[in-house]
Structure 1
Amino acid sequence: MLIKLGYNETKWKDGIKDVFFWNTAKVPHILISGITGGGKTVLSQMLVNPLLASRVDIAICDYKAGGDWNGIIPNYAEFTKCEEVLNEFYNSFIESVESKVYKEKYLVFDEFSSYALSKDTKEFKELMSKISHIAFMGRSFGYHLIFISQQFNAKVLDTAIREQFGIKIYMGSTISTESATMLFPNCEINKSLHLPSCCGYISTPEKNIDIIRIPYIKEPDKLKKLLVQKGQAYFA
């Protein structure tokens, strides 16, 4: 599946609409990070919109329970109930591996970092074992991870797991040294640069770093309502 993520900001300034696509068959997982108000939620919802339209299997966890994802699909959880949905997704993945059956399934997890850091040492190791398993083998069986958080540091996802997320996006006008190092290692980023509104940094398998622009949504609530309508129509 090809999912439009946004536009190349450099070419946009020259009047050229050069689109960044997520080819889910080639790149199974995506990380979306950024500052509050930077646009990561809008980008994430725009990404889920075509998934609903394609009627693929989606599960959504929102650890922060901020009201951005509730009411869209039945397979949804907030805060402590995220554990159940995550385990269901992982168990389905294990069944696919054991039976060698390909399924097209997506797990959207908002504020994954906060969820991971809420675990004690034993629980965290168990969580990372599951995530690592899906991250490394998910592509072969159609299982995709869409993780959203303000930041992804080494305490949350180690380098080996982060490298399995072939597309990484950071939305916001500025980026911290820690986020730049974690998401875009070996890339030169001018952290004193202030990006325009609705822009951020993106790395893809084709290019280490670029600037992405997403459409300006004047009324974000309408985008959420659109997702609810599509979800209700599909799961009716």
Structure 2
Amino acid sequence: MKQEIKLDKDKTFEFSTKQIGAIIQAPTGQGKTRFLSYLILSVAKIGADVYFIDGKRADLYGLRFAFSVDEREKHVACTPNQACRLLRELVEHMNNRYEKYFSNENSAIGENYSFYKLRPIFLFFDELIATLGEDKKLGKEIESYLIQIMLKGRQAGIFAILSSQRFSAEVLSTTIRENAGMRVALGRMSKDSYKMVLGDFYDELPAAEKGIGKGYIFLDGLGWSTPRAFQTPFLDTSKINVKEVLKYYLLKGANLYETGEI
């Protein structure tokens, strides 16, 4: 199955090869949750396992009911302590994959997780600033785990999608931003907010509609010199039960990837 997500007629999130991870920023009411829901269902549809951290205990936290009671605590976090545990376990899982599949005498040079039929894993971390702001000491630990996933996750098949109403230099480290292959800014923002997400392109931004689900996108690995105008795919959450569809895709994906890996 193809490891990419269609964004519009001419843009694709090629997460396994060109755009490693993502950051998404949008003020309240500008389409962030709807876009996240589209990405969540899209990656689950291709068989990925998903993990959620929601610093405001809101929309992503509500998706815990898509998991069985036994799996909820493992897959969903909201407090800084829970976030640290979840991220620590993901990093351990990532390192175990490297040790088992990519660091032994029989490892195939240059191959990634799909070669070994490993299930891709996506971490969706919403309202990062709220989680880090609750506990600054744990915030440093959380940031260190996120940097490891952003830097090392691609080959092992572990990807992070980070989102917030507003990022800041204190929360979004340069390392994380520069290693996010997809960067999306929705709605109207200040110059500093655009620069925080998209980089130093503010004076070169093309004309683009601003509003719900509309703004800018930058996709790495395609030779783009500046971000481009973007409108998110439309997902009518009033007609789609995101929890139930996610539950269905997760079960299907678990059956597809019954490999007995670590």
TM-score (norm 2): 0.75
1:197-228: CA deviation from partner (whole Å, max 9, x where unpaired): 43121111232211111244454462524534
1:33, 1:152 within 8 Å by CA — same for their partners in 2? yes
Q: How many residues align?
A: 223
User: Equivalent residue of 2:5, what SS?
Assistant: strand
1:114 and 2:144 are equivalent in the alignment: no
Shift in CA distance, 19/83, structure 1 to aligned 2, threshold 3 Å: same
Match of 1:185 in 2: 199
Q: Matches of 1:31 and 1:135 in 2, distance apart?
A: 11
For structure 1, the residue ranges without an aligned partner over 5 or more in a row are 8-17
Matches within 5 A, 1:1-236: 1-5=3-7, 7=8, 18-26=9-17, 27-68=19-60, 69-73=63-67, 74=71, 75-80=74-79, 81-101=82-102, 102=113, 103=118, 104-120=120-136, 122-172=137-187, 174-187=188-201, 188=203, 195-205=210-220, 206=222, 207=224, 208-220=226-238, 222-231=240-249, 233-234=251-252
Q: CA RMSD in A?
A: 2.6
Counterpart residue identity of residue 76, structure 2: A
Deviation at 1:194, TM superposition (A): 5.7
Deviation at 1:189, TM superposition (A): 5.8
Deviation at 1:29, TM superposition (A): 0.4
Deviation at 1:233, TM superposition (A): 4.4
User: Equivalent residue of 1:165, what SS?
Assistant: coil
For structure 2, the residue ranges without an aligned partner over 5 or more in a row are 103-112, 256-262
TM-score (norm 1): 0.82
Deviation at 1:55, TM superposition (A): 1.6
User: Equivalent residue of 2:23, what SS?
Assistant: strand
Counterpart residue identity of residue 139, structure 2: F
Shift in CA distance, 4/61, structure 1 to aligned 2, threshold 3 Å: same
- Identity, % of aligned positions: 23
Deviation at 1:182, TM superposition (A): 0.8
1:39, 1:198 within 8 Å by CA — same for their partners in 2? yes
